[in-house]
Amino acid sequence: MMKTPLPLLCACLPLLACAAPYTPKDGSAVIEQLPRRADATQLALRGLRQQLNATPDDLAMATGLAQRYIALARSETDPRYLGYAQAALAPWWRQTAPPLPVRLLRATILQSTHQFGPALQDLDAVIAQQPQHAQAWLTRATVLTVQGDYTQATAACARLSALTTQLVTVTCLANIASVTGRAASSERLLDLTLRRSAGTAPELDSWALTLLAEMATRRGELALAEARYQQALAQQPRDSYLLGAYGDFLLDRQRPQDVVKLLKDQQRIDALLLRYALALQALPGKQTAFLAAKAELAARFNAAMQRGDTVHQREQARFTLFLQQDAPAALQLAQQNWAIQKEVPDMRILLEAALAARNDEAAQPVLAWIEANGVEDTALQRLVRQLGPQDGQKVSFVKKAGVL
């Protein structure tokens, strides 16, 4: 049995979107609390970077350093480390067919920044060379699931059964099953598998627990979902995906003060700053802080648009709808995002924007997707009910969801 390496775990969930460059208004502004230079991890990384600078073509050293940076990008909720990882791979980054270790790391970085097409090209090339490469199969499954290609994603997950631990395989499969009409059975299997997998890496436990929390949330089992979120946070308190998912859970429960407490030190990530701003908006006496966060988000999204960066479209659609109250513009962003990725939050923001814009026709692709794949989610069910049954397809979903 192949031992599950840390880079494999880093690829399990996508990093939240990176922040655009920020220029402070004056020299006294605190931009970031950086890791202490005396920190053991930072000292080790600085030493490795100096060694690599002396021998930049050292493949083993470059890939080892890039792996460490990618791990830190997740554990420290800091997307800058993805840039450092790319810099470590600079001699090979633009090659059409770089060495396999570089190609795999490049795919992981591309996937983390939502460049799914190039990431899949690299992953397919890695698998062609090494058909038994577990990390490549898992990252491929992750990308395909985000894109909504559930058949190929399931096939990729299935290949893991002989290559890595049962918990990795079951979590991979449950991630797909949870949005294809098999939520209850897949949740039970994943929960059982996690309970039987004592001693696994904290990163893997957190991944499984986060998915279990999301699955419980979609079923409306809120106490269970919160317990699972808290367990996951105990394992990985700075995981950006986990923080975003739990932040959304708290926002939906009308607990903005808890969101502020959770995310007050995590605002370098656009998606987390968005949730922080949404919480401030709901709190009395926080107008100044809210307006500052809103202005910062606007600047970041504008910079991203000028760069042609589409990573932020889901978050920008939420920002435009709920903070700027511009429903038509939010709907356009949500539609553009839907063309790229098809996860439950992508479905939700498009339906929310269509409702706010009073454009039921724009909701039809998502309604069709929900119907075709048997997506189960109480928040989506409420939105479908608000849209109102206008055709047989919509009535079918609402009846199946048990809300008529």
Q: Where residue 114 falls among pLDDT bands split at 50, 70, 90?
A: confident
**Percentage of the chain modeled with pLDDT above 90:** 76
- Region 111-130: what's the mean pLDDT? 95
The residue ranking higher by pLDDT, 154 or 390, is 154
pLDDT beyond 80 at 85? yes
Is 165-253 assigned to CATH 1.10.15? no
pLDDT at 29: 39
Q: Which residue has the higher pLDDT, 390 or 147?
A: 147
Greater confidence, 13 or 259? Answer: 259
Average pLDDT over residues 391-395: 45
Write the DSSP string, 267-295: TTSHHHHHHHHHHHHTSTT-HHHHHHHHH
CA distance 96 to 267: 36
Rounded CA separation 250/246 (Å): 6
Token reading at 315: 């978050």
- Residues 339, 357: Cα–Cα separation, whole Å: 19
Task: Give which of 8, 124, 72 is closest to 236, Cα–Cα.
Answer: 72
DSSP single-letter state for residue 96: S
Domain positions in the chain are 1-15+39-147, 165-253, 254-311, 326-404
Give the pLDDT confidence of 293-302 residue by residue, as tens digits.
999 999 999 9
Average pLDDT, stretch 189-218?
Answer: 94
Instruction: Report the pLDDT averaged over residues 316-320.
Output: 98
In angstroms, the CA 394 to CA 388 distance is 8
pTM equals 0.86
Segment 102-108 shows an average pLDDT of 97
161: which DSSP letter?
G
Higher pLDDT, 336 or 391: 336
User: What confidence category does residue 77 fall into, taking pLDDT thresholds of 50, 70 and 90?
Assistant: low
pLDDT tens readout for residues 46-62: 999 999 999 999 999 99
Residue 31, pLDDT > 70, answer no
Closest listed residue to residue 335, CA positions, set 357, 363, 356:
363
pLDDT digits (tens, 9 = 90+) for 263-285: 999 888 899 999 999 999 999 99
Does residue 228 have a pLDDT over 60? yes
| Other CB atoms within 10 Å distance of the CB of residue 226 | 17
- pLDDT above 80 (res 23): no
Whether residue 110 is predicted with pLDDT greater than 60 in this model: the reply is yes
pLDDT at 390: 53
Mean pLDDT of the chain: 88
Q: Could you tell me which residues come within 8 angstroms of residue 253 by beta carbon, excluding any fewer than 6 positions away? A: 222
Kindly report the CATH class assigned to 1-15+39-147: mainly alpha
What residues have CB less than 8 Å from 198, skipping those under 6 apart? Answer: none
Percent of the chain topping pLDDT 70 = 86
Average the pLDDT over 320-337 and give the result: 98
Of 131-145, 220-234, 378-392, the least confident: 378-392
Q: Is the pLDDT of residue 13 over 70?
A: no
User: What residues contact 62, with CB distance under 8 A and at least 6 apart?
Assistant: 52, 56, 88, 89, 91, 92, 102
Equal fold, 1-15+39-147 vs 165-253: yes
pLDDT category at 381 given cuts 50, 70, 90 is: very high
Tell me if residue 305 falls in helix, strand or coil: helix
